[in-house]
Chains A and B, each alone.
Chain A
């Protein structure tokens, strides 16, 4: 079943700004401390994005 019914996704500028800032800070902190491995960082960023998307609702 093919679908072309999706609307173009409008990004919330505030959410995008928050994500940019949080992801950058997270990376900067980890760059200094080397606390998390690559896959752990991917997972953390993923959760951050999911949480922000869930916050603004579908």
Chain B
């Protein structure tokens, strides 16, 4: 497939009918360059290819109609969007046009009709023939299957995703025609109940004996069971692939967020500390209030108490009266004329006088007792206030220290929080990683079990087949069936051997191609390897050990570019070598060339890598169409200049994002 031209009408930024962009199709100058600034419409061009061929476009808004045209539409008027590609495939010129009609049915409503795909091709005599509408999608699929299109029309800004896509394995197999061999092999597989071989076997006449008939149903059961086991095995393999990819993603996230993890843990620890400090401050505050309320009055009265005690000590009236005795109590005793000891005071004058003397020692007659009692109270006060100062001081010190500590921790938390990017929860990622590991182990164990069951079932089938062979009655019908089975098995073996051999070769050739291209662009110590999922990994030699290495954005771009180029190179090798499943019996050669249409191929690459990539570009495909940023072109131009057949420049009309034109510059 070589693309001759593309023409756009009202497609996104390209307002009105644009003159066709003609691409270089010559071998020595196989590069077409389209230069443009940001938002001028470079990506739109690559989307135009995909929209025309597959009705797929990766725009944020669904409509492909130019906004200015849409706004200018009058009520009940219609506008058309079309993209027309002219290409050569298998020496035949195809004109592929997709058209979509838009009608304004209300002031703010546009009716979008289903797009229509039309394909015409030139007969050898030059006459144009139309491909029937129902055959159009199939025709496109024959020219370039949609599953492979992303590898030939690709967006450099999304190049990082290209090697991690889930369908890489299918794409590589599809590209190399292995999927065709795989399907053919499955249809002849003697172990599959629905295969050609199994159908022949079922028709063999082994007699009408009930035991013999049961053999056939046992065989069908075992084959059906085997089919189910193989389906399960493939499903589990896919699941393992998914969980392995997930493991890599999570590992990368954990690694990339190593600092984030430290900061998140630090943040958690600081938040815990702050909560504890705040609690300590509250406790200290409560204790200060409680102790102050209880002892402050007495504490602040201490100087006064000392002075009062001094006065009391200096007084001569320190009483000897009976403590707590009151003069009124003595009056009562005298009035009743009977002492508390039982003595009759009316008859014992001496006793009465003694009581009167005791009364004279009591207040109000004598202050001494009051003073003594007061002094005792003061002493108690002084004892109680002895620790008030130190307790309050200790609590206050704790309060102040905690306050300072809180300030420091709060500042630290603020700094750590500022360093934490977005809402990535690394602990959650690690938790997911552990869960993923458990699931992965479970799936691997399951795969082992299924593989073992498959082995046992295959053995069972082989034994039943042997028995059936032994029981087969000699007849012309059986002889014919045995021949059919023998041919079916021989073709199956040929396909199986070819498939396994080809897959191994494909991987080796892809690895070789990718490494060759990688080495031309990168001159360091790293090289690439390919894993079972056809994903490429950068490796370096460290102390005689191959280790996975980190990659810069630029190096990642080179790595992924090598992968794309390796795939295209593989396709070209296939074209040269043919599609055959074995060397000795090659199936006719497919010599179809391949285009490579790239938007922003130098995205994320630095000056040196741009230059290195540019040197390789013309070699990797028969036709190369590049949409390049003006700033990147300065570095790419010296290496590409001699290979350019056509060049174009995208210009924004009046600096508008909704109206661009493409002008030929060479």
Interface of A toward B, CB cutoff 8 Å: 1-6, 9, 11, 15-17, 19-21, 23-25, 27-28, 31-35, 38-39, 41-42, 45-46, 49-50, 52-54, 58
Contact = CB atoms under 8 A, between A and B. Distances in A.
B183 A50 contact: no
B470 A49 contact: no
Given A4-B470, A6-B472, A32 B483 contact: no
Given A42-B196, A46-B199, A1 B484 contact: no
A53 to B, nearest CB: 5
A25 B587 contact: yes
A41 to B, nearest CB: 6
25 contacts: A3-B471, A9-B483, A11-B490, A15-B487, A17-B585, A21-B585, A21-B587, A23-B491, A24-B180, A28-B180, A28-B579, A31-B179, A32-B142, A34-B141, A38-B187, A45-B188, A45-B488, A46-B199, A49-B200, A49-B484, A49-B487, A50-B484, A52-B487, A58-B480, A58-B483
Contacts of A17: 585
10 pairs of A and B residues whose beta carbons are closest in the complex: A27-B184, A9-B486, A32-B142, A31-B180, A53-B483, A46-B196, A28-B180, A45-B196, A33-B138, A49-B484
Name which of A17, A27, A34 has the most chain B CB atoms within 10 A of its CB.
Answer: A27
Contacts of B581: 24
Contact of A6 (B181, B480, B482): B482
Contact of A27 (B180, B470, B484, B486): B180
B184 A24 contact: yes
Interface of B: 138, 141-142, 177, 179-181, 183-184, 187-188, 194-196, 199-200, 207, 469-474, 476, 479-480, 482-484, 486-488, 490-491, 494-495, 579, 581, 585, 587
Contacts of A35: 138
Contacts of B196: 42, 45-46, 49
B490 A42 contact: no
Contacts of A34: 138, 141
Contacts of B579: 28
Contacts of B188: 23, 45
A54 B476 CA distance: 12
A11 B479 contact: no
Contact of B491 (A19, A28, A53): A19
A58 B177 contact: no
B179 to A, nearest CB: 7
A20 B494 contact: yes
A9 B386 CA distance: 118
A19 B162 CA distance: 39
A54 B480 CA distance: 8
B202 to A, nearest CB: 11
A2 B200 CA distance: 19
B474 A6 contact: yes
B471 A2 contact: yes
Given A42-B194, A58-B483, 7 more contacts: A2-B471, A24-B495, A27-B183, A31-B180, A38-B194, A41-B187, A42-B195
B587 to A, nearest CB: 5
Nearest to A8: B486
Contacts of B476: 58
A19 B188 CA distance: 12
A20 B495 CA distance: 8
A11 B217 CA distance: 29
Contacts of A41: 187
B472 A3 contact: yes
A49 B180 contact: no
Contacts of B482: 6, 9
A42 B188 CA distance: 8
Contacts of B177: 28
A34 B134 CA distance: 12
Contact of A32 (B138, B187, B200, B488): B138
A21 B587 CA distance: 7
Contacts of B195: 42
Name which of B196, B473, B482 has the most chain A CB atoms within 10 A of its CB.
Answer: B196
A34 B139 CA distance: 11
B474 A3 contact: yes
A40 B200 CA distance: 15
Contact of B181 (A5, A24, A38): A24
Contacts of A5: 474
Contacts of A31: 179-180, 183
A32 B484 CA distance: 27
Contacts of A2: 470-471
Nearest to A34: B138
A35 B179 CA distance: 16
Nearest to B478: A6
Contacts of A42: 187, 194-196, 199
Nearest to A53: B483
Given A3-B472, A46-B196, A53-B480, A24 B587 contact: yes
A21 B195 CA distance: 19
Contacts of A24: 180-181, 184, 495, 581, 587
A32 B141 contact: yes
Contacts of A15: 487
B479 A58 contact: yes
Contact of A53 (B487, B495, B585): B487
A28 B585 CA distance: 16
Contacts of A28: 177, 180, 579, 587
A36 to B, nearest CB: 11
A58 to B, nearest CB: 5
Name which of B141, B482, B483, B484 has the most chain A CB atoms within 10 A of its CB.
Answer: B483
Contacts of B491: 16, 19-20, 23, 49
Name which of A16, A28, A32, A35 has the most chain B CB atoms within 10 A of its CB.
Answer: A28
B499 to A, nearest CB: 11
